[in-house]
């Protein structure tokens, strides 16, 4: 039963939810499977350091310990239950795929996925046409169950993961892509959420956020609240450079979001603000019109508010975790799991070739491992040699109980061959691709990457794409609306089907996405085009194209404790430098001596 708590804090989340989103809290059981289920692949019974865990809303690959993952999933499922209880329909069926998380013993392994990372990076979130993946590092410490919930020390690693999942929740279940300060503030608002069997605490600032806000009371700031409203999280002078600016943006976003969620009145003001932003009103003007006072006063208002900002302690019970199943992985996973994840992150061609070489050399050591050969097949497809994967994938796809990955990759390989071919070869491969991709969608109805590929094959094969083909693009986006490439094809499919209001709605969300300039620019252009006369052949031509480079979204989680340490050190160095400078100036001053009057 929902508590009064809903009316004064989390009700704002309802503003973010699309009316026809079909999602609910899945009915969970309180049991947990204790016996590890061994996967024997091609007779290879040696287990890897990696294992797989699955709960109602998550799939985790980890090289840590089973107990670590079990505790992590317990907390993540509780957070998910909290978020969807207050935002989503309780009667509809959840049609979204589970989020895949790589939970690493060594956070440096994240750098294999994307080498262009911030120096303080400790987590990564990736979305593209091959799906959505998250990467985080184990940082648990022992917990005392008998201590007061609100006074427990913060679990820093868990706070990073909670914040990343809260952002993901917005991306997946809403159209909201702006304001970015609210997305970041929302993430930090839930980052330090705490659960017990009888109560939940939300709204506690992560320790580094609190520390930085205390720091600002006696030191220069990098951003004022006009910068926050204008979504400036990089431009400014800070003791720790851009990372420090980003920390200040998150800290002030937390205060502003906490302030908004503190009362029904502020929630209504924020609703009015969002409506004004949607109509194109400049952000600072929109804030002043919605809240009734000048932005120049916002800093003072929030400074006073922060002194009394409290966490919300409720008797909301987060519910049971549900069943968690564990599986061992084949030995080849030690060397191939992360390279496979790299390919699923849609990297550039240079990275693909480097990863392909590594996978090809490693797969030779495991000729009888289906896992290794499937990873090799994906690498062959992505590196431009899909025909080399055909024989193995055809054999696996034709087994009595085929594996989804084999069928999907076969359809994808046939699609890639068709894209490079002409005439009858192109036609036959497009037909085969459609058939196998449709089969893959049947094997796993919650695989948006297969739906998207089926759409691609369909628009290339048909001069007048069928409702089935158009619907697959829209369904892929509904299942994973955080993937910008899916949003693009869904908007075009809606427009081609004559559903202009739906197309404009998707484009409006994309155009507001300042964190993906490529897709925002494309959406803005097509907003203008759809407001003029545009014919179906033009839409079909655009649907057949793919943006280059392939749209992908990356969001790094930074270890704010390291950023705060850098700030503290820089302040200390500055103080020492100023002291030395002052002593040098004093040393240069002439010494004053007493002059004796000789007439005395």
Q: What's the pLDDT score for residue 12?
A: 47
Cα 1 to Cα 405: distance, rounded to the nearest angstrom: 40
Under a CB-based contact definition with an 8 Å cutoff, are residues 452 and 473 in contact? yes
Q: Is 228 helix (H, G, I), strand (E, B) or coil?
A: helix
Please give the Cα distance from 492 to 525 (Å, whole number).
13
Taking the C-alpha atoms of residue 169 and residue 568, their distance in angstroms, rounded to an integer, is 33
pTM for the model stands at 0.89
Tokens of 385: 């040699």
- Give the Cα-Cα-Cα angle 120, 123, 128 (nearest 5 degrees): 125
Helix count (H) and strand count (E) of the chain? 23, 10
Going by C-alpha positions, the residue among 261, 76, 243 that lies closest to residue 159 is 76
Rounded CA separation 194/207 (Å): 14
In contact, 410 and 418? CB cutoff 8 Å? no
| Residue 265 CB-density burial (10 A; 0-12 exposed, 13-18 middle, 19+ buried) | exposed
Query: What is the residue whose two structure tokens read 């990343």?
Result: 164
User: What does the pLDDT profile of the chain (600 residues) look like in tens digits?
Assistant: 333 333 343 444 444 443 333 332 233 233 333 333 333 333 344 689 999 999 999 999 999 999 999 999 999 999 998 998 777 654 445 678 999 999 999 999 999 999 888 888 999 999 999 999 999 999 866 566 666 777 777 788 899 999 999 999 999 999 999 999 999 999 999 999 998 878 889 999 999 999 999 999 888 888 999 999 999 988 888 888 999 999 999 999 999 999 999 999 999 999 999 999 989 999 999 999 999 999 999 999 999 999 988 888 887 776 667 899 999 999 999 999 999 999 999 999 999 999 999 999 999 999 999 999 999 999 999 999 999 999 999 999 999 999 999 999 999 999 999 999 999 999 999 999 999 999 999 999 999 999 999 999 999 999 999 999 999 999 999 999 999 999 999 999 999 999 999 999 999 999 999 999 999 999 999 999 998 888 999 999 999 999 877 778 999 999 999 999 999 998 888 778 778 777 777 877 766 555 555 554
Place of tokens 């076969």: 410
Rg, C-alpha atoms of the chain: 27
Predicted local distance difference test score (pLDDT) of residue 178: 94
Buried b (16+ CB within 10 A) or exposed e, 101-118: bbbbeebebbeebbeeee
| Beta strands at 194-195 and 200-202: parallel, antiparallel or unpaired | antiparallel
- How far is the C-alpha of 133 from the C-alpha of 466, rounded, in Å? 31
Distance CA 103, CA 135 (A): 6
Given a contact cutoff of 8 angstroms between Cβ atoms, the answer to whether 173 and 23 are in contact is yes
Q: b/e for 473-511, b at 16 or more Cβ within 10 A? A: bbbbbbbbbbbbbbbbbbbbbbbbbebeebbbebbbbbb
Is residue 284 classed exposed, middle or buried when 0-12, 13-18 and 19+ CB atoms within 10 A define those classes?
middle
Rounded Cα distance, 589 and 570, in Å: 29
How far is residue 339's CA from residue 37's CA, in Å, rounded to a whole number? Answer: 24
User: In terms of Cα–Cα distance, which of 105, 102, 42, 115 is closest to 363?
Assistant: 42
Residue 377 in tokens: 């097949």
CA dist 362 and 340 (Å) reads 12
């Amino acid at each position: 039963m929902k508590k009064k708590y809903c009316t004064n804090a989390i009700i704002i989340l309802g503003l973010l939810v699309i009316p026809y989103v079909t999602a609910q809290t899945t009915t969970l059981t309180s049991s947990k499977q204790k016996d590890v289920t061994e996967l024997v692949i091609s007779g290879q019974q040696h287990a890897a350091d990696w294992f797989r865990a699955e709960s109602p809303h998550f799939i985790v690959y980890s090289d840590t310990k089973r107990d670590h993952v079990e505790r992590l999933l317990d907390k993540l499922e509780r957070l998910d239950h909290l978020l969807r209880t207050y935002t989503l329909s309780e009667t509809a069926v959840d049609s979204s795929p589970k989020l895949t998380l790589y939970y690493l013993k060594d956070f440096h392994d994240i750098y294999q996925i994307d080498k262009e990372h911030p120096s303080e990076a400790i987590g990564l979130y990736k979305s593209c046409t091959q799906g959505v993946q998250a990467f985080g590092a184990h940082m648990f410490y022992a917990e005392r169950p008998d201590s007061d919930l609100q006074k427990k020390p913060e679990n820093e690693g868990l706070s990073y993961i909670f914040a990343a999942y809260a952002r993901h929740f917005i991306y997946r279940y809403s159209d909201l892509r702006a304001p970015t300060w609210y997305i970041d503030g929302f993430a930090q608002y839930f980052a330090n959420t705490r659960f017990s069997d009888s109560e939940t605490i939300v709204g506690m600032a992560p320790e580094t956020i609190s520390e930085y806000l205390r720091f600002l009371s006696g030191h220069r700031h990098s951003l004022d609240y006009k910068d926050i409203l204008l979504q400036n999280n990089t431009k400014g002078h800070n003791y720790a450079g851009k990372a420090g600016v980003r920390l200040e943006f998150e800290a002030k976003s937390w205060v502003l979001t906490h302030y908004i969620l503190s009362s029904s009145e502020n929630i209504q003001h924020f609703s009015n603000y969002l409506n004004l932003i949607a109509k194109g009103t400049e952000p600072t003007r929109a804030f002043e019109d919605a809240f009734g006072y000048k932005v120049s006063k916002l800093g003072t208002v929030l400074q006073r508010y922060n002194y009394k900002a409290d966490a919300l302690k409720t008797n909301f019970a987060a519910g049971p975790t549900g069943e968690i199943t564990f599986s061992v992985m084949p030995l080849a996973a030690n060397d191939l799991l992360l390279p496979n994840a790299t390919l699923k992150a849609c990297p550039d061609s240079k990275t693909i070739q480097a990863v392909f070489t590594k996978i090809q050399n490693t797969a030779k050591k495991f000729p009888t491992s289906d896992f290794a050969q499937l990873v090799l097949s994906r690498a062959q497809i992505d590196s431009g040699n899909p025909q080399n994967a055909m024989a193995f994938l055809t054999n696996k796809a034709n087994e009595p109980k085929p594996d989804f990955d084999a069928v999907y990759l076969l359809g994808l390989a046939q699609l890639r061959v068709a894209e490079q071919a002409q005439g009858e070869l192109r036609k036959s491969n497009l037909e085969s691709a459609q058939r196998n991709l449709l089969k893959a969608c049947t094997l796993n109805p919650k695989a948006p990457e297969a739906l998207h590929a089926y759409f691609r094959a369909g628009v290339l094969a048909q001069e007048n794409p069928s409702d089935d083909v158009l619907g697959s693009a829209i369904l892929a986006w509904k299942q994973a609306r955080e993937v910008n490439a899916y949003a693009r094809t869904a908007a075009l499919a809606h427009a081609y089907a004559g559903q202009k209001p739906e197309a404009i709605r998707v484009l409006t969300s994309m155009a507001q996405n300042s964190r993906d300039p490529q897709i925002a620019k494309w959406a803005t252009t097509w907003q203008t085009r759809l407001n003029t006369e545009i014919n179906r052949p033009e839409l079909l031509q655009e649907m057949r194209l793919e943006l280059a480079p392939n749209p992908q979204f990356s969001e790094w989680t930074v270890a704010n404790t390291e950023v705060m340490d850098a700030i503290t050190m820089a302040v200390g160095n500055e103080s020492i430098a100023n002291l030395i400078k002052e002593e040098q100036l004093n040393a240069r001053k002439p010494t004053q001596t007493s002059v004796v009057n000789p007439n005395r």
